[in-house]
Amino acid sequence: MRLIHRVADLRAALAGQHHTAFVPTMGNLHSGHISLIELARRTGPPTAGPIVASIFVNPLQFGAGEDFNRYPRTLDADCAQLAAAGCDIVFAPDAAEMYPEPQTFSVQPPLADELCGQFRPGHFQGVATVVLKLFNMVQPRYAAFGKKDYQQLFILKAMVRQLNLPIVMLEGETGRAEDGLALSSRNGYLSAEERAEAPRLYRLLRVAAQQVASGVIDLADIEAGVADELTRHGWRVDYIAPRSRSTLLAPTPEERDLVLLAAAHLGRTRLIDNIECRRQALKVP
């Protein structure tokens, strides 16, 4: 496995490759990231090209007062995991390589002010801009992203479609700890007490998804019920939102394929999670 820091060296290493598979990350890797490497490897054709992972903590996607400075940087450990998973190239540029001049062009994605965007202004603009730059640097045929960042994945798929990028998007299921907590680099911020409390978020989403599927509850009651329960246990809720899977907007009464999205703070740590569910058909009187 090669570790490359400069765009020119990356381009030289990938010259003539048409089936590169790409896994963009911010590092501090866990088994959820590694499962994306495996997904990329499984998906390539028999003549599969190289697998490239990037590691870059992107300042553009962090707001003032967010965790950019304390975000864990663990390049050596990340490289060891990537090598063991069969990654061919790690691209780890520094900020000057990624942004050699002020980034005055940016991608303005749809839904950028919705859900997480409402609480993290500029976040999805920063994500879409860096991912488009990374796509232009790596020129992958396949790119893998996890469904834990559901809104990010939705926005990036729209970017690929609407900007005609010749990239097949691969979607990895959310990796979870045994108690259900979605794997995230930010879980490392949790105290022991918070870590014990954290699985409540997914537990409540699962119950809510079952209620949606069996049609026993109104969607507004789901939002209020999950939010109240979290608040009672010391969380600060940003949102609990049932959305249409096809638009990520509030579902019309006819829409049945839904996703319940959630973001809430436990102490100083902001956790997100989601669960897909299928609403029972409305009974026509």
Helices (H) and strands (E) in the chain, counts: 10, 9
What is the β-pairing status of strands 236-244 and 257-266?
antiparallel
Q: Does 24 bind ligand PAF (CB under 6 A)?
A: yes
| Interface residue with ligand PAF, options 26, 167, 241, 263 (CB under 6 A) | 26
CB nearer ligand PAF, residue 27 or residue 251: 27
Listed in sequence order, the residues at least 6 apart from 98 whose beta carbon sits closer than 8 Å to its beta carbon are: 56, 58, 130, 133
The residue from 149, 197, 229, 238 that contacts ligand PAF (CB under 6 A) is 149
For the chain, the straight-line distance linking the first and the last C-alpha, in angstroms and rounded, comes to 63
- Considering only residues 46 to 85 of the shown chain, the ones binding ligand PAF according to CB under 6 A are 58, 61
Regarding 127 and contact with ligand PAF (CB under 6 A), the answer is yes
Which letter does DSSP use for residue 274 in this model? E
233 tagged catalytic: no
Q: Give the residues across from 170 on adjacent strands.
A: 144
Nearest to 116 by CA among 149, 83, 86: 149
User: Segment near ligand PAF (CB under 6 A), from 23-31, 187-195, 202-210, 257-265?
Assistant: 23-31
Between 61 and 174, whose beta carbon lies closer to ligand PAF?
61
Q: CB nearer to ligand PAF: give 222 or 274.
A: 274
Number of residues engaging ligand PAF in binding (CB under 6 A): 10
Residue closer to ligand PAF, measured from CB, 78 or 223: 78
Going by the DSSP 8-state scheme, the letter that residue 166 receives in this structure is -
Q: Which of 33, 123, 233, 265 is catalytic?
A: 33
Tokens of 73: 């940087």
| Class of residue 124 by CB neighbours under 10 A (exposed 0-12, middle 13-18, buried 19+) | buried
Active-site annotation, residues:
33
Interface ranges with ligand PAF (CB under 6 A): 24-26, 58, 61, 127, 130-131, 149, 152
